[in-house]
Amino acid sequence: MPVTFTFGEMLSARSVIGTTLAELGKTHDNLWVLTPDIGATLVEFQETFPDRFVDVGLAEQVCVGIAAGLAYDGNIPVVSGMLPFLSMRALEQIRTDVCYPNLPVKIIGTHGGLVGNGGSTHYAVEDLALMCALTNMTVTSVGDPLMVGEVLRQSMTLPGPIYIRLAVGKKDKVLYEEGQHDVRIGKGIIARDGTDATIFTHGTTVAQALQAAEDLAADGRSVRVVDMFTLKPIDEALIAQCADETGGRFVVLEDHLAYGGLATRIADVVADRGIRLNAFERLGIPQVYAGFGDDEELRDKHGYGLAATVAATRRVIAHPSWASSH
């Protein structure tokens, strides 16, 4: 059944995963879905293709190992679960059993960032650092629920593994009009254009960055928002372009450790390519084990909420440029 939606409406990314996998199961008879007991939204696939659905129970390591075995035999396995456990409990299986032989296993899951109020056992906040370190791994973090389906569809033709990170996936804002952007793995999306500064972000904080840009527009500030949903390979050309077009003023906002995720990926590109910036600020989770609270409260408490995003963007815009300070 096709997904219907309205721009601005709240939609469950999980239901998009379920629907998309059921759709892909029809066109790919070698597509398997595996889960460690997180199968509620996979029911459509499970009922349509019971022979290609495996729920191993609470056993992330064997779940990824089985996926590797299936992929060695020519199948396309999708492992769907909760990311704190897939990315850490099964890290070695992902690295050694999947990435080392470069097998087309898709790892998709929820609970990326301080979301879901589960406490630090249930927040994946190091996952992007871990996944970006793995040779052969493509790493994505998707905020718009409909993009999840598109990324999954595109991933079918990837020869190697991919990691697809979601927030909670129960209620996500549809950010883009249908066909508004050319969604391609490896390419960032200019979600809103501007010339004074760029906010780079991914996943659940894209909506917050767009709100910050809107708030700043009321003050006459023109802020670009880039949805850098692919962290690896990173869109180097777009980073260079934004430096040129937005005054060399960057804010990186993410629901992940402030060091090790997108900010680090961008800083690496800036250093490696000798891109000259006037100002760079990173907003993300500090080195703490965050406590409980709803998503917005936690972001505010830990310094990367909406107000902090607006303030940081004002600072980078106000920062003196090289030309005037040297």
Partner 1 sequence: MRDDVSWQEGERPSVAELEERAFELRSKLLHLCGTYEGAVHIGGDLSAADIFTALFHYGLHVDPHDISNPHRDRFLLSKGHAAVCMYIAMSMRGFFSYDGIVETYGQLDSAYGMHPCKVQLPGVEASTGSLGHGLPIAVGMALSGRHRGDAHRVVCLLGDGETGEGSVWEAAMAARSNELGNLVAFVDRNRQLMTSHAEERIAFEPYPDKWRAFGWDVVEIDGHDMAALVKAIDDLPAPDSDRPTVVICETVKGKGVDFMERNLAWHAGSLGAEDLQRALAALEASRQKETV
Q: Applying CB under 8 A, which residues contact partner 1?
A: 51-52, 54, 56-57, 59, 61-62, 64-75, 77, 92-93, 96-97, 100-102
Which CB atom, from 105 or from 253, has the smaller least distance to partner 1?
A: 105
Least distance from C-beta 230 to partner 1, angstroms?
A: 25
Nearer Cβ to partner 1 (108/175) = 108
| Strand ranges across the sheet with 53-55 | 53-55, 31-35, 76-82, 106-110, 162-165, 138-141, 230-232
Is 39 in contact with 18 (CB distance < 8 Å)?
no
Residue 295, number of CB atoms within 10 A of its CB:
19
**Closer residue to partner 1, CB minimum distance, 102 or 154:** 102
Handedness of CA 208, 210, 215, 221 (dihedral sign): positive
At 33, phi and psi to the nearest 5? -125, 125
The answer to whether the peptide bond before residue 286 is cis (omega within 30 degrees of 0) is: no
CB count in 10 Å sphere of residue 303: 16
Whether the CA torsion 81, 52, 143, 195 is positive or negative: it is: positive
CA angle 76, 135, 236 (to 5 degrees): 105
Q: Which is nearer to partner 1, 96 or 241 (CB)?
A: 96
Residue closer to partner 1, measured from CB, 136 or 241: 136
Counting beta carbons within 10 angstroms of the beta carbon of residue 284, is it exposed (0 to 12), middle (13 to 18) or buried (19 or more)? buried
Residue 313, both tokens: 């963007």
Unique residue bearing structure tokens 């409406």: 9
Q: Give me the least distance between CB of 68 and partner 1, in Å please.
A: 5
**Which residue number, 51 or 272, has a Cβ lying nearer to partner 1?**
51
Closest approach of partner 1 to the CB of residue 83, in Å: 19
Instruction: Output the smallest distance, CB 59 to partner 1, in A.
Output: 4
Strands 10-11 and 172-173 turn out to be: antiparallel
Among candidates 282, 276, 208, 207, which has minimal Cα distance to 242? 276
Query: For partner 1, which is the closer residue by CB, 100 or 292?
Result: 100
The nearest distance, CB 57 to partner 1, in angstroms, is 8
- Cα(2)–Cα(20) distance, integer angstroms: 9
Smallest separation (angstroms) from partner 1 to the CB of 249: 44
Contact present, 183 and 147 (Cβ < 8 Å) = yes
Closest distance of CB 70 from partner 1, Å: 4
Shortest Cβ 94–partner 1 spacing (Å):
11
Residue closer to partner 1, measured from CB, 37 or 215: 37
> What is the DSSP pairing of strand 172-173 with strand 162-165?
unpaired
